[in-house]
């Protein structure tokens, strides 16, 4: 397809007097892995949710795969776009297999095709197949988020939106899940937009980092370029934080070894 | 087995069947209305407040009053329907009971329904949007299944309330387990009262447990339990209702009415016996208020009942004069025929007048023999009355004729009124002259020198549509003029006395034998 896969132009959103998005424009090309980074209230989650119309913007234009998002039927649009939630949001009364198969079922796939897809996805996110018959309550936090990723991928979407997907996990699980997902992104040729407040995660996983503050884009670029080019002190502080942390870690750990 | 317990068991199939039909119907209807309302309330904050407030408001209306209010409302609607479509419907009995109980059952279902749906984790609701569900798919596939345990808890509360409140449908003419309680209260048959309470409580308990099984099934996502609970509920309703289905094939029954005291029960039994001897089906509508009974008869919902000339004279015709016993009866017969087409078949032969009565010793000590004497002492005395008397025109007539002004006035069920007099809680009561307790409890009925209280001949009233019904007339006409007041008093006392009580049916049989029928 020619042109960007996702295109936002001058998108605005207000909550009462507060401006969550103050005219944001952003293009995402097919195959890109974009991280939206910023502090609380920066507008990063609002921006993500406008892409599949979980939030309707007050002004601006949004196109996904060339189609006007604001003119589309929201539920039909969302079935084409995978979404991974911060709080996972698995349906507690449905078993894992039903949770993963929910969007294909809405699309009217037959049972055999759904069952085959569920098995493929469980393998893809590195979960044992027998887990399909369990309720979400019987899973660990990491397993649940793997199911969340599988559910988002179920209807074979080209685009995956992720809202702080690994935020609630312990560091080891988080690291493993992050790199596993990055591998999936490459293997399946996905286009991913991920919200995170963790710059280290963004630098490690994303091809491109978009920094937001007060509903505006402060910086936008490849991780390495961003540090070299930006003059904004906020952006520099954000980018340097993980580097400084890593250096301090190394120093302290080598002290202990000596 | 004790005779009274046996008598109570004999009535159980009919009472229980109606009670179950009524409460199950009200609950099903209440659920069908409340659940969509709860969904709407959970979707719209603007709707939520008024809907829940209205349901709470209905709940604050005493349930007996709610049932009573539906009668005039339905009567008016029936009249409108009669005028518009040419077809009316019965405003007495099943319909007002069903509608009032339906309203009554709604609050817990509404409240729990809205709370249950709103209580679904917002993250889960957003996930339903996110995976591409429409609002309706989210409701049916995610929100309602997750809210089901909370909703079911509301249904359980509603079921227990409805089954309890259904006992109150007796006074609007609907048979229920309440018939035990109301009849037992009137005739001091405590076995009946307890039996009615126990049966109603047992029914509520069973329904609650079965609904609880469904609730647990919904909570633990065990469809087997849900299905088992539902199946048991349906089977229970089917078994309980079976006696009614058996009765449905029989020819239409004649409805014989009774107000809420012993003499009325006995006379209703007497009339029913006579009708059954003619080979017709009879159903009883008991514990009706005076005004309800007459309007029900005029509307054709009752076929016959006994009323009293003075009651009709003052309450129905609104007359304040007293032209004498014979003249009242004559004018009444002509006027009711002309106005409502109601047939006054004739006087049974005795009067049951309102009379102010005191204990003999107390009357002698105070020097009171007439209502005129009483007026001088009244400011130091307390009046006990039945539930109707103080709001009836006869009381206003007596009060203004003699200038009666009591220290206090209290209302009782007739049974308790006599108790209050013997125990000294009240000094004077509004007694009935045919009541056997006047003589038995050494009471004196005060004379009425000014004739302020009209005559009260007991008369059989026949509904307009039965005025030419040969079988009904053949059954009831022989009773006219045949019951002397002594016979009625004896029959009443056999039911009202404290020990060796007879049931109204037994008293009716004894009265028939005594009169040689």
Chain B hits for A76, CB-CB cut-off 8 Å, are 132
- Asked if residue B327 and residue B186 are part of one domain, the reply reads no
- Asked if residue B188 and residue B326 are part of one domain, the reply reads no
The chain-wide mean pLDDT, for chain B, equals 89
> What are the tens digits of pLDDT across the range B94-119?
888 999 999 989 989 999 999 999 99
Q: Could you say which of B127, B133, B221 has the minimum Cβ distance to residue A93?
A: B221
- Distance from C-alpha of A29 to C-alpha of A5, rounded to nearest angstrom: 5
| pTM as predicted | 0.77
What does DSSP assign to residue B93? S
Task: Report, as an integer, the average pLDDT of B235-250.
Answer: 79
The shortest C-alpha distance from A80 to chain B (Å) reads 8
* pLDDT of B59 over the 90 cut: no
In 10 A of CB B463, how many CB atoms?
Answer: 25
Query: pLDDT over 70 for what percent of chain B?
Result: 98
Candidates A190, A109, A182, A98; CA nearest to B141 is: A98
- Distance from C-alpha of B226 to C-alpha of A74, rounded to nearest angstrom: 35
* pLDDT of A56 over the 90 cut: yes
Structural domain boundaries of chain A?
Answer: 6-91+159-257
In B142-171, the residues whose Cβ lies within 8 Å of chain A are 142, 145-146
> Reduced to 3 states, what is the DSSP secondary structure of residue B405?
coil
The shortest C-alpha distance from B131 to chain A (Å) reads 6
So what's the pLDDT on residue A1?
45
Domain of residue B278 covers: 254-351+458-515
In a domain, B453, yes or no: no
In a domain, B451, yes or no: no
- Asked if residue B230 and residue B209 are part of one domain, the reply reads yes
- Distance from C-alpha of B161 to C-alpha of B59, rounded to nearest angstrom: 11
Candidates B502, B483, B463; CA nearest to B285 is: B463
Supply φ then ψ for residue A8, to 5 degrees. -115, 135
Least confident of B18-22, B80-84, B338-342, B470-474: B80-84
> What are the tens digits of pLDDT across the range A21-42?
998 999 999 999 999 998 888 8
Domain termination site, one of B230, B248, B266: B248
Tell me if B131 and A102 make a contact (CB, 8 A cut-off).
Answer: yes
- Asked if residue B154 and residue B242 are part of one domain, the reply reads yes
In a domain, B106, yes or no: yes
Q: How many domains does chain B have?
A: 3
Domain termination site, one of B202, B230, B248: B248
CATH number, residue B143: 1.10.3720.10
Contacts 24+ apart (CB under 8 A), B66-70: B66/B100, B66/B103, B66/B104, B67/B96, B67/B97, B67/B100, B67/B101, B67/B168, B67/B169, B67/B171, B67/B172, B68/B171, B68/B172, B69/B100, B70/B95, B70/B96, B70/B97, B70/B99, B70/B100, B70/B172
Sign of the CA dihedral running B6, B8, B14, B18: negative
Decide if B197 touches A, using CB distance below 8 A: no
So what's the pLDDT on residue A223?
86
> What are the tens digits of pLDDT across the range B281-296?
888 888 777 777 888 8
Residue of B nearest to A50 (CA): B130
- Asked if residue B217 and residue B112 are part of one domain, the reply reads yes
So what's the pLDDT on residue A257?
55
- Asked if residue B131 and residue B157 are part of one domain, the reply reads yes
Chain A hits for B145, CB-CB cut-off 8 Å, are 93
- Asked if residue B465 and residue B435 are part of one domain, the reply reads no
In a domain, B203, yes or no: yes
Residue B12: which residues within 8 A CB-CB, separation 6 or more?
B199
Least confident of B145-159, B248-262, B407-421, B478-492: B248-262
Decide if A170 touches B, using CB distance below 8 A: no
Residue B250 pLDDT grade (very low, low, confident, very high; cuts 50, 70, 90): low
Task: Report, as an integer, the average pLDDT of B359-378.
Answer: 92
The secondary structure of B14-53 as a DSSP string is HHHHHHHHHHHHHHHHHHHHHHHHHHHHHH-HHHHHHHHH
- Asked if residue B488 and residue B433 are part of one domain, the reply reads no
> What are the tens digits of pLDDT across the range B501-517?
888 889 999 999 988 87
CATH number, residue B299: 3.40.190.10
- Distance from C-alpha of B121 to C-alpha of A86, rounded to nearest angstrom: 13
Chain B hits for A89, CB-CB cut-off 8 Å, are 121, 123-124, 126-127, 130
- Asked if residue B240 and residue B177 are part of one domain, the reply reads yes
Decide if A133 touches B, using CB distance below 8 A: no
* pLDDT of A159 over the 90 cut: yes
Decide if B124 touches A, using CB distance below 8 A: yes
> Reduced to 3 states, what is the DSSP secondary structure of residue B220?
coil
Helix axes B223-248, B190-219, angle to 10 degrees: 140
- Distance from C-alpha of A71 to C-alpha of A64, rounded to nearest angstrom: 11
Which two tokens mark B54?
A: 């209205």
* pLDDT of B271 over the 70 cut: yes
Alpha-carbon distances of A164 from A85, A174, A197, B128, rounded to whole Å: 7, 11, 7, 18
So what's the pLDDT on residue A242?
82
In a domain, B452, yes or no: no
The shortest C-alpha distance from A135 to chain B (Å) reads 10
- Asked if residue B178 and residue B109 are part of one domain, the reply reads yes
Which two tokens mark A130?
A: 């027998």
Q: B208-234 burial by CB neighbour count: b if 16+ within 10 A, else e?
A: bebbebbbebbeebeeebbeebeeebe
- Asked if residue B227 and residue B163 are part of one domain, the reply reads yes
CATH number, residue B400: 3.40.190.120
The chain-wide mean pLDDT, for chain A, equals 90
Decide if B128 touches A, using CB distance below 8 A: yes
- Distance from C-alpha of B210 to C-alpha of B218, rounded to nearest angstrom: 13
Domain termination site, one of B421, B445, B469: B445
Tell me if B221 and A78 make a contact (CB, 8 A cut-off).
Answer: no
Strand partners, B226: none
In a domain, B270, yes or no: yes
- Asked if residue B337 and residue B358 are part of one domain, the reply reads no
Query: pLDDT over 90 for what percent of chain B?
Result: 51
Do the beta carbons of residue A163 and residue A193 sit within 8 Å? no
Fold adopted by A6-91+159-257: Rossmann fold (3.40.50)
């Amino acid at each position: 397809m020619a042109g960007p896969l996702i295109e936002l132009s001058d998108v605005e959103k207000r909550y009462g007097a507060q401006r969550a998005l103050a005219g944001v424009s952003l293009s995402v090309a097919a195959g890109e892995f974009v991280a939206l980074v910023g502090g609380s209230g920066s507008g990063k989650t609002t921006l993500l949710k406008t892409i599949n119309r979980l939030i309707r913007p007050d002004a601006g234009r949004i196109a996904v795969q060339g189609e006007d998002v604001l003119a589309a039927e929201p539920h039909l649009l969302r079935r084409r776009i995978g979404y991974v939630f911060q709080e996972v949001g698995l349906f507690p009364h449905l078993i894992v297999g039903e949770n993963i198969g929910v969007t294909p079922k809405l699309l009217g796939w037959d049972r055999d095709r759904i069952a085959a897809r569920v098995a493929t996805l469980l393998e893809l996110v590195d979960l044992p197949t027998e887990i399909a018959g369990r309720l979400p309550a019987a899973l660990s936090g990491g397993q649940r988020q793997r199911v969340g990723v599988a559910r988002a991928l179920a209807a074979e979407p080209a685009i995956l939106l992720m809202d702080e997907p690994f935020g609630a996990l312990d560091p080891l699980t988080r690291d493993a899940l992050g790199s596993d997902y990055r591998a999936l992104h490459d293997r399946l040729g996905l286009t991913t937009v991920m919200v995170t407040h963790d710059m280290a995660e963004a630098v490690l996983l994303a091809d491109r980092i978009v920094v937001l503050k007060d509903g505006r884009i402060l910086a936008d670029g490849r991780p390495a370029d961003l540090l070299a080019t930006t003059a904004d002190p906020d952006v520099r502080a954000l980018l340097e934080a993980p580097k400084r942390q890593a250096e301090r870690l190394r120093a302290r750990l080598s002290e202990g070894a000596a | 087995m004790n005779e009274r317990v046996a008598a109570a068991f004999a009535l159980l199939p009919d009472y229980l069947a109606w009670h179950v039909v009524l409460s199950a119907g009200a609950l099903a209807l209440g659920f069908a209305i409340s659940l969509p309302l709860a969904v709407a309330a959970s979707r719209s904050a603007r709707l939520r407040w008024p809907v829940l407030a209205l349901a709470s408001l209905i709940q604050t209306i005493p349930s007996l009053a709610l049932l009573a209010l539906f009668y005039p409302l339905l009567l008016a609607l029936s009249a409108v329907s009669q005028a518009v479509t040419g077809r009316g419907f019965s405003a007495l009995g099943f319909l007002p009971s069903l509608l009032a109980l339906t309203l009554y059952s709604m609050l817990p279902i509404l409240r729990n329904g809205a709370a249950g749906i709103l209580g679904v984790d917002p993250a889960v609701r957003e996930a339903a949007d996110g995976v591409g569900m429409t609002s309706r798919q989210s409701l049916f596939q995610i929100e309602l299944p997750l809210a089901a345990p909370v909703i079911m808890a509301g249904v359980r509360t509603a079921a227990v309330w409805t089954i309890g409140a259904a006992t109150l449908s007796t006074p609007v003419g609907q048979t229920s387990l309440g018939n035990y309680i109301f009849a037992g209260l009137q005739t001091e048959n405590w076995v009946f009262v307890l039996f009615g309470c126990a049966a109603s409580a047992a029914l509520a308990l069973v329904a609650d447990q079965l609904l609880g099984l469904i609730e647990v099934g919904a909570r633990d996502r065990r469809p087997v339990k849900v299905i088992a609970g539902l199946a048991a509920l349906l089977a229970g309703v089917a078994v309980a209702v079976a006696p009614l289905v058996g009765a449905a094939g029989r020819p239409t029954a004649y409805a014989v009415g009774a107000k809420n005291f012993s003499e009325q029960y006995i006379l209703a039994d007497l009339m029913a016996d006579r009708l059954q001897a003619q080979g017709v089906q009879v159903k009883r509508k008991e514990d009706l208020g005076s005004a309800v009974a007459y309007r029900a008869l005029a509307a054709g919902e009752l076929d016959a009942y006994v009323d009293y000339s003075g009651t009709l004279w003052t309450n129905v015709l609104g007359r304040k004069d007293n032209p004498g016993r014979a003249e009242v009866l004559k004018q009444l017969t002509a006027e009711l025929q002309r106005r409502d087409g109601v047939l006054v078949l004739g006087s049974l032969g005795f009067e049951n007048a309102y009379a102010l009565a005191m204990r003999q010793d107390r009357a002698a000590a105070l020097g009171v023999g007439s209502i005129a004497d009483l007026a001088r002492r009244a400011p130091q005395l307390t009046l006990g009355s039945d539930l109707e008397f103080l709001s009836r025109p006869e009381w206003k007539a007596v009060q203004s004729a003699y200038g009666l002004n009591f220290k206090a006035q209290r209302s009782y069920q007739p049974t308790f009124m006599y108790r209050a007099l013997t125990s000294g809680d009240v000094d004077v009561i509004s007694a009935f002259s045919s009541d056997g307790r006047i003589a038995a409890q050494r009471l004196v009925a005060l004379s009425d020198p000014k004739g302020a209280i009209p005559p009260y001949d007991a008369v059989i009233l026949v509904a307009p549509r039965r005025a030419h019904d040969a079988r009904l007339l053949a059954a009831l006409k022989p009773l006219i003029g045949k019951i002397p007041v002594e016979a009625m008093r004896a029959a009443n006392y056999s039911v009202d006395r404290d020990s060796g009580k007879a049931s109204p049916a037994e008293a009716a049989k004894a009265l028939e034998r005594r009169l040689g029928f």
